[in-house]
Amino acid sequence: VCKHGIIWARQREMIGGMILFGLLGFALEVWGDREASNTPVEYIYDTRPGVALVALEMMWFYAYASRCWQTFSAETRQRPRFFYKQYATVLSLWFVSLPLVAALASILAPWVRFRITFAVSGVAHALAAGVLVYL
């Protein structure tokens, strides 16, 4: 539940998760830049760090959604409730887009995978950003 002022010592779960997410992202970048892995056969999220990153993203989504719901349920004022109702739904698109794109990539043929996943990911992020600007 959101409260005024953040006490960082109580946010170990969030800070640890962000560090782990950053390290896994770095491992994927290093893997992607290696010359031996420049083959179109293996998708970046099919690797062990990639699967861990997608799983962590799904855990982040669960934490985000459950905490938004807790805050929404505890809030009695109309304006904050309206904010959480509108923005929580749109911001969920960011959390859901990576697992959906990774699942889509796992069923696509290697020679079309990059173009389709790049387009779907770009459209999802542009759509979420556009809706946020509109709201």
Write out pLDDT tens, residues 1-33.
556 666 666 677 778 878 888 888 887 777 766
Calpha distance 118→29 (Å, rounded): 16
- Look at the block and give the residue holding tokens 């290697």: 110
Q: Can you say whether the dihedral through the CA atoms of 63, 121, 117, 36 is positive or negative? A: negative
Average of per-residue pLDDT values in the chain: 80
Calpha distance 27→15 (Å, rounded): 18
Whether 123 has a pLDDT exceeding 60, the answer reads: yes
Average confidence (pLDDT) over 79-88: 83
Angle (CA) 39-40-42 rounded to 5° is 85
- Which of 104, 99, 109 shows the shortest CA–CA distance to 119? 104
pLDDT value of residue 98: 86
pLDDT value of residue 42: 66
Write out pLDDT tens, residues 40-53.
566 777 777 778 88
Cβ contact 31:15 at 8 Å: no
| Identity of the residue numbered 107 | I
pLDDT value of residue 96: 86
Calpha distance 12→17 (Å, rounded): 8
pLDDT value of residue 37: 54
Average confidence (pLDDT) over 97-111: 86
